[in-house]
Amino acid sequence: MHPALRIDNFSVRFERGDSSTMAVREVSLQVEAGECVALVGESGSGKTQLFMAAFGLASSQARVEGSVRYFGEELLHAPQAVLNRVRGAGIAMVFQDPMNALTPHLSIGAQLIEVLAVHGGAPREAARSAALAMLERVGVDEPARRMRQYPHELSGGQRQRVLIAMGLLGAPKLLVADEPTTALDVHVQAQVLELLQRLRQETKLALIFISHDLAVVAGVADRIMVMYAGRIVESAASGALLRSPRHPYSAALIRCMPSMRSPVAARMATLPGYPPRAGDLIAGCAFAPRCPKAQARCVSERPPLIADARGSIACHFPEAP
Amino acid sequence: MESYSAAWRRFRENRAAVLACLIVAAVVLLALVGPLVNPNHGDALDWQAVAVAPTRLHAHWFGTDRLGRDLFVRTLEGTQVSLLVGLIATLMSLVFGISYGAVAGFAGGRTDNVMMRIIEIVSGLPLVFFVIVVGVLFGRGPVLLFVSIGAVSWLTTARIVRGQTLSIVRQPYIEAAIAAGAPPSRIIYRHVIPNLLGPVVVYATLSIPQIMLFESFLSFLGLGIQEPNASLGTLVSQGVGDMEAASWILLVPGSLLALLLVALNIFGDGLRDALDVKEA
Amino acid sequence: MSAPLLDVEGLSVHFGLFQAVKGASFALDRGETLGLVGESGAGKSTLARAIMRLVQAQGRLRFDGQDLLALAPARLRALRRDFQMVFQSPLGSLNPRLSVRAAVSEPLELFEPDLDRQARARKVAEMLERVGLQAGVAARYPHEFSGGQCQRIAIARAMIARPKLLVCDEPVSSLDVSIQGQIVNLLKELQEDTHMAMLFISHNLAVVRQISHRILVMQQGEIVESGECHRLLSSPQHPYTQRLLLAVPQMP
Q: Each residue of B90-115: pLDDT tens digit?
A: 888 888 899 999 999 999 889 999 99
Q: Which pLDDT score is estimated for B1? A: 41
Q: Which residue has the higher pLDDT, C102 or B254?
A: C102
Q: What three-state secondary structure class fits A234?
A: strand
Q: Is pLDDT at C35 greater than 90 in this prediction? A: yes
Res. B138 pLDDT band, cuts 50 70 90: confident
pLDDT digits (tens, 9 = 90+) for C100-151: 999 999 999 999 999 999 999 999 999 999 999 988 899 998 988 888 999 9
More confident residue, B194 or B221: B194
Closest-approach residue (CA) in chain A for C252: A218
Residue B70 has pLDDT above 80, yes or no: no
In the A/C pair of chains, how many CB contacts fall below 8 A? 113
* Interchain CB distance below 8 Å, C92 and B177: no
Interchain proximity C148–A274, CB inside 8 Å:
yes
Q: Give helix then strand counts, H and E, for chain B.
A: 11, 0
pLDDT at A114 exceeding the cut of 50: yes
pLDDT confidence bin for B230, thresholds 50/70/90: confident
What pLDDT is recorded for position B3? 54
How close is the nearest chain C Cα to the Cα of B1, in Å? 8
Residue B2: the pLDDT is: 44
Which of C45, C185, C210 to probe the A interface (max A CBs under 10 A)? C210
C89 lies within 8 A of chain B by CB: yes
Query: Average pLDDT of C234-241?
Result: 93
Range with the largest mean pLDDT of A163-172, B206-215, C130-139: C130-139
Cβ–Cβ gap A215/C243 under 8 Å: no
Q: Residue A187's pLDDT is what?
A: 72
List subunits contacting chain B, requiring 3 or more Cβ pairs under 8 Å.
Answer: C
What is residue C1's predicted lDDT score, i.e. its pLDDT?
53
Tell me what the pLDDT averaged over chain A comes to: 86
Look at residue A1 in the predicted model and tell me its pLDDT. 76
Residue B180 with chain C: CB contacts under 8 Å: 80, 84-85, 106-107, 110, 157-158
Convert the pLDDT of each residue in C5-25 to its tens digit: 999 999 999 988 889 999 999
pLDDT above 80: residue B276: no
Identify the pLDDT of residue B104: 93
- How confident is the prediction for chain B on average, in pLDDT? 80
Which residues on C lie below 8 Å from B179 (Cβ)? 52, 54, 80, 84-85
Grade residue B49 by pLDDT with cuts at 50, 70 and 90: low
If one compares C249 and B159, the residue with the highest pLDDT of the two is B159
Is C149 in contact with A274 (Cβ distance < 8 A)?
yes
Q: How confident is the model at residue B280 (pLDDT cuts 50, 70, 90)?
A: very low
Q: Do C244 and A186 touch (CB under 8 A)?
A: yes
Chain C: nearest CA to B263, how far in angstroms? 28
Candidates A47, A159, A260, A280: best to mutate against C (most CBs of C within 10 A) is A260
**Are the C-beta atoms of C212 and A179 separated by less than 8 Å?**
no
Is residue C66 scored above 50 in pLDDT?
Answer: yes
Position B42 scores a pLDDT of: 64
Question: Lowest mean pLDDT: which of A227-231, A258-262, C66-70?
Answer: A258-262
Contact state of B277 with C93 under an 8 Å Cβ cutoff: no
Kindly tell me if the per-residue pLDDT of C73 is higher than 50: yes
**Is there a contact between C161 and C81 (Cβ–Cβ < 8 Å)?**
yes
Tens of pLDDT, residue by residue over C171-211, are: 998 888 888 999 999 999 999 999 999 999 998 888 999 99
Nearest CA in chain B to C94: B173
User: What is the C-alpha to C-alpha distance for residues C48 and C52, in angstroms, rounded to an integer?
Assistant: 6
Q: What is the pLDDT of residue C49?
A: 94
Asked if A278 reaches chain C (Cβ–Cβ under 8 Å), the answer is no
| Cβ-nearest to B181 among C81, C97, C102 | C81
A186 chain-C contacts, CB cut-off 8 A: 39, 203, 205, 244, 247-249
- List the Cα angle A27/A247/C149 in 5-degree steps: 85
Output the pLDDT for position B114.
94
pLDDT on residue C79: 95
Query: For the stretch A112-143, what's the b/e string if a residue is b when 16 or more beta carbons lie within 10 angstroms of its beta carbon?
Result: bbbbbeeebebeeeebbebbbebbebbbbeeb
Lowest-confidence range among A6-10, A80-84, A229-233, B126-130?
A: B126-130
For residue range A300-314, what is the model confidence (pLDDT) as tens digits?
999 999 999 899 999
A152 shares contact with chain C (CB less than 8 Å): no
- CB contact (8 A) between residue C184 and residue A268: yes
Per-residue pLDDT, averaged over B166-193, amounts to 92
Interface mutation vs chain C, best among B4, B175, B192, most C CBs within 10 Å: B175
Percent of chain C clearing pLDDT 70 (strictly above): 99
CA-nearest residue of chain A to C208?
Answer: A258
pLDDT confidence of residue B279: 38
* A239 in C contact zone (CB under 8 Å): yes
Residue B50, pLDDT > 70, answer: no
Residue of B nearest to C143 (CA): B278
Decide if C32 contacts C214 (C-beta within 8 A). Answer: yes
pLDDT-based confidence at residue C168 (cuts at 50, 70, 90): very high
Interface test with chain B among C46, C93, C127, by most B beta carbons within 10 Å: C93
C100-111 and B172-180 helices cross at what angle (nearest 10)? 30
CA nearest neighbour of A207 among A92, A115, A48:
A92
Q: What is the mean predicted confidence (pLDDT) over C18-39?
A: 93
Q: Could you tell me the pTM of the whole model?
A: 0.83
Inter-residue contact B231 to B78 (CB < 8 Å): yes
Interface of B with C in 138-197 (CB under 8 A): 171-173, 175-183, 186, 190-191, 194-195
Q: What does residue C185 show for φ and ψ, rounded to 5 degrees?
A: -65, -40
From B171, B180, B280, residue closest to C92, measured CB to CB: B171
Tell me if C147 and A254 make a contact (CB, 8 A cut-off).
Answer: no
Q: Do A258 and C177 touch (CB under 8 A)?
A: yes
- Cβ–Cβ < 8 Å for C208, C184: no
Q: Is the pLDDT of residue B241 over 80?
A: no
**Exposure string for A3-42, b = 16+ CB within 10 A, e = fewer:** bbbbbeebbbbbeeeeeeebbbbbbbbbbbbebbbbbbbb
For A186, which of C180, C188, C247 is closest by C-beta distance?
A: C247
- In this prediction, residue A237 carries a pLDDT of 94
Residues in B touching C94 (Cβ below 8 Å): 173, 176
| Residues of C in Cβ contact (< 8 Å) with A43 | 147, 176
Higher pLDDT, A242 or A215: A242
Segment C20-25 long-range contacts (CB within 8 Å, at least 24 positions apart): C20/C46, C20/C221, C21/C46, C21/C47, C21/C50, C21/C57, C21/C221, C22/C220, C22/C221, C22/C222, C23/C59, C23/C222, C24/C59, C24/C218, C24/C222, C24/C223, C25/C223
Q: Name the neighbours of A, counting chains with at least 3 Cβ pairs within 8 A.
A: C
Contact of C146 with chain A, judged by CB distance below 8 Å, is answered with yes
Subunits with 3+ C-beta pairs closer than 8 A to C = A, B
At residue B59 the predicted structure's pLDDT band, cuts being 50, 70 and 90, is low
Strands C83-86, C165-169: pairing is parallel
Q: Does A212 touch chain C (CB under 8 A)?
A: yes
C97/B194 CB distance under 8 A: yes
Residue C94 touches partner B, C-beta closer than 8 Å: yes
How far apart CA C41 and CA C18 sit, in angstroms, is 12
